[in-house]
Chains A and B, each alone.
Chain A
Amino acid sequence: MDKDGVFNLGRVRLSGNQSIVRGALEAGVRVTTAYPGAPISDLQGSFEQLAGNLPRTNPFTLKVGEALDQVGYQLSAHWGTTTNEDNAMGLALGAVICKGDFKKREFLSEDEWNLVYGDTVFAEDLEKRIPVGSRVMCSFKHLGGNTAADALRVAVNVLPYTGSLGIASGDDRQGTSSQTMQDNKVLYAFHFRIPTLELHSPSTSHITVKNCYSLFEELGVPFVVVMNYDLSYREVSSDLRMEVDLGANMRRKAFTKDPKHLVTIGPHIRPREKKVLSSLIPLFKKKIKENFEFLGNKVIIYGSEPRAILLLNGPFQEDFQLVKHDQALRDRLVSKFDEVLVVESPLVFPQPDALYEELVSKYPIKQIFVFEEGYGKVIYLQLLDLVNRKGLDVKVFDCSIPYEPRIYERFSYIDHILAP
């Protein structure tokens, strides 16, 4: 450990849930709220242990807890006490709207800053810094999204004050432990229209979460990370080298009065809704394109003249890693698609239109195959819309699976991609 918040804690087995916790801690998250429910309970359970509300019972919380205690990390955790997901979200909203400190701009130009912060009480800040406060994480299971929807919808009405809020959704797309199956990407992407990512591996989720806090905090918008049932629980062995942003964790606390943003009445929210649609979502797309790899996305070309794009999201992205190490699978890839451009992307919404336009104009692309899990077809519909809107001479194919296959169905994502 050193004073800058860099810890080398050895090798530890981490589940997907714990990987998100790791990412949030590295981002300096100070307030965590949740309502428990499979498959995401032990995400907040870890925070509860780290905050001292529950005994530390596993190597992850024991090691990380000791390290954080030594540097005086500030962590507040509220779990079942919130009584339901709506209250968990309300509590998170209250904690995130307090902007008592500033940070320097990293991602926004001055003009972009004006667009995001130009009508807030911070508008006259000469250095055009980013108003910041506690970074907050709120988590619940997929059905919790329905319960929290009332409060969560308001989070969009009070942009940019809800930047610094990360939401983790544990999806149960197979009805394993819930009364129904649900693809929450529809909820967060199409209904709330906030940046949504589907995580795909306990080995990398923490990086995506940490970087989401950096980028979306500055953009003044909450973000959502979604995991499927398998990823929530599956463990991998990881080197626990953490780089904790202690500066973000120990920011100055204060509520800054800006009722024109924080009192949600018609005359305040109507112009903001227009702004979200006409200006902010295009800005989010632009910044996502500029920081595509930063958010864990990759563009890999197999061959020199790819005629198709494979867009791989979530579990498809993870299983595709096998192709890189297995010549037989690679042969099957070439056999099926010939030369191909692969976009490995946790990003669900909003899709960076300009990136796909660039790829289509740069290469002789005629087909885009979208592999995603869930009945919402959220990525497919966005790309279909893009192709229609821009008149691109490309066909988009929906290769999704509508639910998360149970383990005993012996479903192979890579076989689904490479099926003849």
Chain B
Amino acid sequence: MAAMRNTAQDEITYMRPVSNCAGCGDTKVSWSVYEGMKRFNREHELKGRKRYQVVYVADRGCGNLQGYHAYHIVDAIFCMGTGAIVGEGIKESCSEKQIVVTASGDGGYNFNLSGSKFAAKNKKWGAINIIYNNYNIRMTGGQIPLETDFDKEGAAMGFEVIHINPYRVADNAELFKGLVDRYLKKDKVMVVADGVCVLDMRREAASVGLKLGLFSKSEECLDLKFAQERQRVARDEPEKLKELPRFKCRLCGIGLRCQALLNNDPGLCFGCGACAQFPCPVGALSFEGRSYAISTDITELIKT
């Protein structure tokens, strides 16, 4: 059924700010999931009601909460550890055209291993379970999470485990496009996103004298054009300022959930390199230099 307009009003109150760093590995996967779905529909020439749709069911955790708060990519978040099992429940009652993708941090994964196990063993449906490998990412407070051997554990449960570099967003979109096909064939895949903590990595890179790259936007960028137009109207026709449309492109910043791109501020850029693979509609986005999209290993990066 088509969703109708949501008339619920946001509470006017303090919103808990979930502010992941630009470049945080937890924030790069969702774009690839949705882009993969689009590519799947395009490849199979599915339009209108024939199109498949992602239902993005998440566990609690900064990556997913930020995904909802700032970017509205998440469809359901319940309590800690329930992402995988609630996703299985949704599969029981959702349309055949809806592909349920679950996303958990490794905290949620460890909190409820048996929920993931259920997803792996349930023969009725396929499964795409994304795990943000937060062992490499210093979450709120910088705690060190439980080390997890996803390869052994995932395989033991019945998943095929695929590790991805979350910064290679176009490659990952291609991967997810293929996973939709496999989901429909009831395959069980656990995608482990091995991101890095960009704060740690920046210190580490600096300690070995490694300089990371930066993004840049050409004048073709629709955001920049919009900003220029806004400046012109403010200067020449200030009475029309209020009439100026609120449109901004912001596709790269929203898609990659990146504050540096949203604000067009290289000062906020950690050099993760996710934007190197982002398909800017006007080709205005580029990335020069080394980045984690090449490797998340400093030793390897130095060699490049």
A residues sitting closer than 8 Å to B (CB atoms) are: 30-31, 33, 76, 78, 81-84, 86-87, 90-102, 118-125, 133-134, 150-151, 153-154, 158, 252-268, 270-271
Instruction: Give the residue name and chain of the A residue nearest to B5 (CB).
Output: A124
Tally of A-B residue pairs with Cβ under 8 A?
170
- 11 residue pairs A–B, Cβ–Cβ below 8 Å: A31-B89, A31-B93, A93-B78, A100-B1, A118-B7, A254-B98, A258-B6, A259-B72, A260-B6, A266-B15, A267-B13
**Are A98 and B86 in contact, CB atoms less than 8 angstroms apart?**
no
Residue-wise interface mask of B (1-14) relative to A, using a CB-CB cutoff of 8 A (1 in contact, 0 not): 10111111111010
B75 at the interface (CB under 8 A from A): yes
Known: A83-B114, A90-B82, A267-B13. A124 touches B75 (CB 8 A): no
- B79's partner among A91, A154, A259, A268 (CB-CB below 8 A) is A154
A122–B10 alpha-carbon span in the complex (Å): 17
Q: Which of A87, A134, A262 contacts B118 (CB 8 A)?
A: A87
- Contacting residue for B75 out of A150, A255, A267, A268, CB 8 A: A255
- With A31-B93, A94-B89 as contacts: A151 and B16 at CB distance below 8 Å: no
Rounded to whole Å, the gap between the CB of A251 and the closest CB of chain B is: 9
Are A95 and B5 touching (Cβ within 8 A)? no
The answer to whether A125 and B4 touch (CB under 8 A), given A263-B77, A265-B77, is: yes
- B92 contacts which of A31, A124, A256, A262 (Cβ < 8 Å)? A31
Give complex CA distance A101, B1 in Å: 7
> Which residues of B lie under 8 Å from residue A31 when comparing CB positions?
89, 92-93
Q: Which 3 A-B pairs have the closest CB atoms?
A: A94-B89, A98-B93, A90-B85
When distances are taken between beta carbons in the complex, the residues of chain B under 8 Å from A263 are 68, 74-77
A151–chain B nearest beta-carbon distance, Å: 6
The residue of chain A having its C-beta at the shortest distance from the C-beta of B85 within the complex is A90
Contact (A119, B95) CB under 8 Å given A90-B82, A256-B1, A267-B13:
no
Point out which of B13, B55, B85, B124 has the most chain A C-beta atoms below 10 A from its C-beta. Answer: B85
Q: B19 at interface (Cβ–Cβ under 8 A)?
A: no
Pick the residue among B92, B112, B114 that contacts A134 (CB under 8 A): B92
Given contacts A76-B92, A82-B85, A91-B89, contact A257 B3 (CB under 8 A): yes
For B117, the closest partner residue in chain A by CB is: A83
- B93: nearest chain-A partner, CB-CB: A98
Q: Does B69 contact A (CB under 8 A)?
A: yes
**Is A95 a contact partner of B89 (Cβ separation < 8 A)?**
yes
- Count residues of chain B with CB under 8 A from any CB of chain A: 50
- The answer to whether A87 and B114 touch across the interface, beta carbons within 8 angstroms, is yes
* Contact call B80/A150, Cβ cutoff below 8 A: yes
CA distance A220 to B72 in the complex (A): 25
| Cβ–Cβ < 8 Å partners of A151 in chain B | 78-79, 82
Contact B75–A262 (Cβ < 8 Å): yes
* Chain B hits for A256, CB < 8 A: 1, 3
Given contacts A83-B117, A254-B95, A263-B77, whether A91 and B3 have CB atoms under 8 Å apart is no
| B91 CB–A CB distance under 8 Å | yes
Inter-chain contact B8/A261, CB cutoff 8 Å: yes
- Contact present for A153 and B85 (CB under 8 Å): no
Query: Judging by beta carbons under 8 Å apart, are A121 and B88 in contact?
Result: no
Across the interface, B77 reaches (CB within 8 A) one of A119, A253, A264, namely: A264
Q: How far apart sit A252 and B96, CA to CA, in the bound complex (Å)?
A: 11
B177 to chain A, nearest CB (A): 21
B80, A94: Cβ atoms under 8 Å? Answer: no
Across the interface, do B115 and A90 meet the contact criterion of CB distance under 8 Å?
yes
B156 interface residue (CB < 8 Å to A):
no
Query: Taking the complex as formed, is B94 at the interface, i.e. its CB lies under 8 A from any CB of chain A?
Result: yes
Smallest CB–CB gap between A258 and chain B, Å? 6
Report whether A253 and B93 are in contact in the complex, using a CB–CB cutoff of 8 Å. Answer: yes
| B15: A residues at CB distance < 8 A | 266-267
Give the residue name and chain of the B residue nearest to A271 (CB). Answer: B11
Does B121 reach chain A (CB closer than 8 Å)?
yes
**B residues in contact with A90, CB < 8 Å:** 78, 82, 85-86, 89, 115
Which of A95, A102, A123, A125 contacts B90, CB < 8 Å? A95
B69 touching A83, Cβ below 8 Å: no
Question: Which residues in B have their C-beta under 8 angstroms from that of A153?
Answer: 79
User: Chain B residues with Cβ under 8 A from A124's Cβ?
Assistant: 4-5, 7
Q: Say yes or no: B118 contacts A100, CB within 8 Å.
A: no
With an 8 A cutoff between CB atoms, is B130 at the interface?
no
- The verdict on B103 contacting chain A, using a C-beta distance below 8 Å, is no
In the complex, which residues of chain A have a beta carbon less than 8 angstroms from the beta carbon of B231? none
The CA-CA distance from A260 to B100 in the complex, in Å, is 19
List residues of B (44-77) whose CB comes within 8 Å of A's CBs: 55, 57, 65, 68-69, 72, 74-77
- List the A residue with the shortest CB-CB distance to B96: A253
Question: Does B122 interact with chain A (Cβ within 8 Å)?
Answer: yes
| Closest chain A residue, CB of each to CB of B113 | A83
> 1/0 per position for B99-129, CB-CB distance to A under 8 A?
0100000000000101101100110100000
- Closest residue of chain B to A84 (Cβ to Cβ) is B114
With A100-B94, A122-B4, A134-B92 known as contacts, the answer to whether A259 contacts B16 (CB < 8 A) is no
